[in-house]
Amino acid sequence: MNYRAAFWFPIGLLAALAGLSLWLQYAVQAPSTGGPGGSKHIADYIVENFHATRTDITGKTENTLSAHKTQHFLDDDTTELEAPDFTAFDKQGGSVNIRSARGYVSSKGDVIIFTGKVVLVRDLHDAQGPLTLTTDYLKVIPKQHLMLTNRPALIQGKNIVIHAGALQMNSQTRELLLTHHVKTHYEPNH
């Protein structure tokens, strides 16, 4: 009987160690996030001090986008931006600059979402002077020159303060459409 116990003890010990190591492997692995495929939302590349410039066919700058840190995600082909800074230039020589805490670029690069404390400054280089807009969410469609939000926004300009529940702005035509509980305070020049 001693012979059998001496034979089975090491085999039992090895089986227990194999089971323990298998259990440890599953216990330590992070649970899968994502859909049925089990893909994880993990950055496939990270770029610090990112800067990109889009030009028209003649080489004139249409807009620039920079960020302290950029992360691209392979599972949904989106890009996250830390402290993004976007500037769009119009044909009249003016510009619109947008800064926020965070930003997201769609998979096709046709939409940029700014979140956190969003500050937009429209510099018209004319008698109206600069216009500053603050909100916590702004959607930008660069090819259409559109900037929109469905969240409360504060617009401040020369002699004017406007509160709006939503807005749409075209950076080329300089049109600003305000909706939802718009309140304006205007003080004319004397």
Question: What is the mean pLDDT of the segment spanning 106-114?
Answer: 90
Query: Does 1 reside within a domain?
Result: no
User: Burial of 184 by CB count in 10 Å (0-12 exposed, 13-18 middle, 19+ buried)?
Assistant: exposed
Q: What percent of the chain has pLDDT over 70?
A: 85
Is residue 148 predicted with pLDDT exceeding 70? yes
Query: Does 167 reside within a domain?
Result: yes
Confidence of residue 76 (pLDDT cuts 50, 70, 90): confident
Is residue 8 predicted with pLDDT exceeding 80? no
Question: What is the mean pLDDT of the segment spanning 106-122?
Answer: 91
When comparing pLDDT for 188 and 167, which is higher? 167
Question: What is the mean pLDDT of the segment spanning 80-98?
Answer: 89
Query: Does 25 reside within a domain?
Result: no
Find the domain containing 145 and state its range: 43-186
Phi, psi of 21 (to 5 degrees): -70, -35
**pTM to 2 decimals?**
0.74
What the block records as the tokens of 122 is 């429209």
Which residue, among 69, 22, 71, 66, has the nearest Cα to 45 in the 3D structure? 71
Name the 3-class secondary structure at 83. coil
Is residue 143 predicted with pLDDT exceeding 80? yes
Which residue, among 148, 136, 76, has the nearest Cα to 112 in the 3D structure? 148
Query: Does 110 reside within a domain?
Result: yes
When divided into structural domains, the chain yields a total of 1
Query: Does 22 reside within a domain?
Result: no
When comparing pLDDT for 125 and 184, which is higher? 184
Query: Does 173 reside within a domain?
Result: yes
Query: Does 92 reside within a domain?
Result: yes
What the block records as the tokens of 84 is 């993004």
Query: Does 176 reside within a domain?
Result: yes
Please enumerate in sequence order all residues whose Cβ is within 8 A of that of 153, keeping only pairs 6 or more positions apart, or say none: 133, 134, 135, 163, 164, 165, 166, 167
**Domain CATH for 58:** 2.60.450.10
Average pLDDT of the chain to the nearest whole number: 83
Is residue 116 predicted with pLDDT exceeding 80? yes
